[in-house]
Amino acid sequence: MHASHRTGRAWGHGERFSTVIVWLPALLPLLFLLLFYFYPLVSILTLSLAPDGRLSLTALGTLFTPYHLHTLWFTAWQASLSTLLTVGLALPGAYVFARYDFPAKSLIQALTTVPFVLPTIVVALAFTALLGRRGLLNLALMALLRLDQPPLDLQYTLSIILLAHVFYNYTLVLRIVGTHWANLDPRLEEAARMLGAGRWRAFRLVTLPLLRPAIGAAALLVFVFCFTSFGVILVLGGPRFATLEVEIYRQTVHYLNLPLAAALSLIQIGFTLALMGAYTRLQARTTLPLDLRPRQTTQQRPRHWRERVIVGLNVGIVLLLLVSPLVALVARSLTSSADVPGGGVSLAFYRQLLQSRRDSAFYVPPAMAVRNSVGFALATVGLSVGLGLMAAVVLDRRGSGQGLGRLLDPLLMLPLGTSAVTLGLGYIVALDEPPLDLRTSPLLVVLAHTLVALPFVVRSVLPALRSINPHLREAAALLGASPWRVWREVDLPIIARSALVGAVFAFTVSMGEFGATSLIARPERPTMPIAIYRFLGRPGASNYGQALAMSTLLMLVCTAGFLVIERFRVGDLGEF
């Protein structure tokens, strides 16, 4: 009894000490969000509603011109059409991956995720390499049919934009709906079939209602990504098409009309936050209690020819839609000429990336862009992992820290629902006066990348931290370890692999970030996505070939990062 009383007192003192220090790791993440998320957004609000220090609706009034109303309509319309196409094409694939087991299934499923981790500028260029006027398909058809002009003219059309959006977001539906579908008990539908319902009626009356929340959540998430599409529209749409995101960029960079850009950003913020709110409600409905079963008991090998045809067709569509653009990108980067197919493999474009040509006042060698990207990514990893670990500790707290965790948790997710271009504009507007005059500092890029990467780090680490048996911490405390030593010697070794996953997420996100970086990066410090866009903006086969080569390098880095994430992920821990 006496020993138990002493150990209870020791642990009680440790808990009180933890109550005091629980606020310390929360301060830095909260301060970071306050300064580099909320302050820029409030600055945008102020600029749009009070550009001269007085309340004025002039900037908002300009949004009701036919051009801007058309931009808003096109943004919503193309996002809706992209969402319908993505869900329509991905649902049969979700069914196949949920209900059947077949050779190379894990590899093919991993390949479907690769497009989603690619930078949008790489996705856009991959489709240009495949379907553009000088794309692989057109060049091959011209050589085969002996034509002088490309038979397929998809450049700067809505069709190529929609295909790129399907390519980019296919895996969202496959993962969200397929995972939920794989765990549904197939006996429910079998019971309906035994009662006389046909295959389609059983699906419509039994399975579809159970899948509807997952389908709705996936569709809303796809809509958000298409609604805020930037790199795909900017490269593939050209001057013909503009979403709100692209128009914010043009008003900021080309016309220097910051009040109008801020007003557009305000509309964008309202739409995206409303959509993310609807998404979280639908996602919560997918967690309602159901009679879920392990997927090992719900999946089977294709048993007759009809099932084999269904599996084969869906796998073929996946490979054609998701793999062919990436193959075209790599193949076109390895040719000796950007205009002539064939001719053998050549590393000419990659060698040109190492050359130092200065054709303009703000040009830097392409290798410098690679170095800048790696440097920004490493700094982003250090800052986001440090802040992410602090935030995860607070979110994992019980007792006195629980209320603080409930406040911090949704705040950390807000950047995921905010346009990167809007964040970049906020930085231009807000961080231009002492003591936060960072307009010319490379730290500005790191801060923007960290804001985007931080939710990925937290959601990678938090499930592992919450899975730790509390008795391990109690035993260490009973042996005299301080809370800091408990964290260092008990928690940290257990969550190390999840922290590595979060670090790779941060590195990959930073390497491919284009929206915010296009606004805030200095001309003399371009990143790889910025350099790719510069190459595309210059005439000549050499510049186009270097854009292909640099995009291939960026694609390989992001793909390698994804493979590392899958390798070091602990079971199913992690929310991404």
Residue-wise pLDDT for 350-380, tens only, equals: 888 887 665 544 467 888 888 999 999 999 9
pLDDT reading at 409 higher than 50: yes
Strand-pair partners of 300: 100
Please tell me the distance from the alpha carbon of residue 439 to that of residue 241, in angstroms, as a whole number: 30
**Would you say 366 and 550 are in contact if contact means Cβ atoms under 8 Å apart?**
yes
Least confident of 155-169, 235-249, 395-409, 539-553: 395-409
Domain hosting residue 303, numbered range: 64-335
Is cis: bond before 294, omega within 30 of 0? no
**Which of 381, 378, 367 shows the shortest CA–CA distance to 528?**
367
* Report for 72-81, 146-155, 357-366: range of highest mean pLDDT: 72-81
pLDDT of residue 20: 47
Is 278 exposed, middle or buried (CB count within 10 Å of its CB: 0-12, 13-18, 19+)?
A: middle
DSSP track, 2-69:
HHHHHHHHHHHHHHHHHHHHTHHHHHHHHHHHIIIIIHHHHHHHHHHH-TTSS---HHHHGGGSHHHH
pLDDT of residue 10: 43
**Which of 424, 422, 503, 415 shows the shortest CA–CA distance to 455?**
415
pLDDT confidence band for 288 (50 / 70 / 90): very low
pLDDT of residue 438: 87
336 Rama sector, left if φ>0, alpha if ψ -120 to 50, beta otherwise = alpha
Q: Is residue 241 part of a domain?
A: yes
Q: How far is CA 418 from the centre of its chain?
A: 12
Is 216 exposed, middle or buried (CB count within 10 Å of its CB: 0-12, 13-18, 19+)?
A: buried
Is cis: bond before 435, omega within 30 of 0? yes
pLDDT confidence band for 399 (50 / 70 / 90): very low
Q: What would the mean pLDDT of 284-298 be, rounded to a whole number?
A: 52
Q: Is residue 55 part of a domain?
A: no
Looking at the structure of the chain, the number of domains it has is 1
Q: What is the DSSP letter of 230?
A: -
How many helices, marked H, and strands, marked E, lie in the chain? 29, 0
pLDDT of residue 400: 45
pLDDT confidence band for 86 (50 / 70 / 90): very high
Higher pLDDT: 284 or 345? It is 345
- Domain holding 331: CATH number? 1.10.3720.10
Please tell me the distance from the alpha carbon of residue 251 to that of residue 335, in angstroms, as a whole number: 37
pLDDT of residue 462: 82
Q: Is residue 482 part of a domain?
A: no
pLDDT reading at 77 higher than 90: yes
**Would you say 90 and 173 are in contact if contact means Cβ atoms under 8 Å apart?**
yes
pLDDT of residue 95: 87
3-state secondary structure at position 100 = strand
Q: Is residue 131 part of a domain?
A: yes
Higher pLDDT: 272 or 137? It is 137
Say which residues have a Cβ less than 8 Å from residue 416's Cβ, sequence separation at least 6: 276, 452, 455
Amino acid at 370: V
Q: What would the mean pLDDT of 201-226 be, rounded to a whole number?
A: 83
Q: Is residue 565 part of a domain?
A: no
Q: What would the mean pLDDT of 162-169 be, rounded to a whole number?
A: 92
Please tell me the distance from the alpha carbon of residue 323 to that of residue 318, in angstroms, as a whole number: 7
Residue-wise pLDDT for 437-494, tens only, equals: 888 888 999 999 999 899 888 888 887 887 787 778 778 888 887 777 887 788 888 8
pLDDT of residue 8: 46
Amino acid at 511: M
**Which of 502, 476, 506 shows the shortest CA–CA distance to 491?**
476
Calculate what percentage of the chain has a pLDDT beyond 90: 16
The whole-model pTM stands at 0.80
Q: Is residue 96 part of a domain?
A: yes
Please tell me the distance from the alpha carbon of residue 290 to that of residue 210, in angstroms, as a whole number: 9
Say which residues have a Cβ less than 8 Å from residue 70's Cβ, sequence separation at least 6: none
**Which of 149, 160, 287, 146 shows the shortest CA–CA distance to 214?**
287
Phi and psi at 570, nearest 5°, equal -90, 105
Sign of CA dihedral 523, 529, 531, 537: negative
pLDDT of residue 343: 54
**Would you say 377 and 557 are in contact if contact means Cβ atoms under 8 Å apart?**
no
Residue 277, CB half-sphere, CA atoms under 13 Å: how many? 6
Q: Is residue 26 part of a domain?
A: no
- Owner of token pair 């653009």: 325
Least confident of 53-67, 261-275, 291-305: 291-305
pLDDT of residue 212: 84
Calculate what percentage of the chain has a pLDDT beyond 70: 82
pLDDT of residue 449: 94
For residue 265, give both structure tokens.
Answer: 């950003």
Higher pLDDT: 531 or 359? It is 531
Least confident of 48-62, 175-189, 215-229, 292-306: 292-306
Q: Is residue 558 part of a domain?
A: no
